[in-house]
């Protein structure tokens, strides 16, 4: 009796880390899923008005033939446009448990402020 492999998934030719962006308490937080990415394989920079995340995801290839392969390895580049309210000097990041969290400070002048009435 011959068996056939009927499990398939759409093919993707690039690595595109999923992300979420949230604003709260004077900061914008960008969270990117980075499973299998090492800190040494990441580069984060600001070019003009863009936040650029470059990296490489490597994956060990098991013996045998993939039936389903949703995780991809390879280079990636993710770019975010920054508006004038972001302080380019107030950016920091951390990578833990396969998640990259970038925290971008909002300039004081761009934050809402309360106006007192006399």
Domain definitions of the chain by residue range: 19-57+70-107
CB 54 within 8 A of CB 15: no
Cβ neighbours of 2 (radius 10 Å): 3
Residues in the chain: 118
Using one digit for the tens of pLDDT, what is the confidence trace for 35-51?
A: 888 999 999 999 999 99
What is the C-alpha separation between 77 and 53, in angstroms, rounded? 6
pLDDT of residue 9: 47
- The answer, yes or no, to whether residue 96 has pLDDT greater than 50, is yes
Residue 13 reports pLDDT greater than 50:
no
| Helix or strand run (H / E) with residue 87 | strand 86-96
Cα–Cα distance, 76 to 100 (Å, whole number) = 14
Q: What share of the chain is helix, strand, coil (3-state, %, to 5)?
A: 5, 45, 50
**5 pLDDT more than 50:** no
Using the 8-state DSSP alphabet, how is residue 17 labeled?
-
Task: Name the pLDDT band for 93 (thresholds 50, 70, 90).
Answer: very high
Output the CATH code of domain 19-57+70-107.
2.60.40.790
């Amino acid at each position: 009796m011959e068996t056939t492999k009927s499990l398939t998934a759409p093919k993707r030719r690039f690595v595109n880390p999923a992300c979420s962006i949230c604003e709260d308490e004077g900061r914008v937080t960008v969270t990117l899923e980075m499973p299998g990415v090492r800190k040494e394989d990441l580069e984060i920079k600001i070019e003009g008005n863009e936040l650029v995340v470059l990296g490489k995801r490597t994956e060990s290839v098991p013996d045998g033939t993939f039936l389903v392969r949703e995780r991809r390895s390879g280079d990636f580049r993710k770019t975010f446009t920054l508006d004038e309210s972001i302080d380019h000097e107030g950016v920091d990041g951390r990578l833990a448990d396969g998640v990259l969290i970038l925290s971008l400070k909002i300039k004081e002048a761009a934050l809402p402020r309360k106006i007192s009435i006399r």
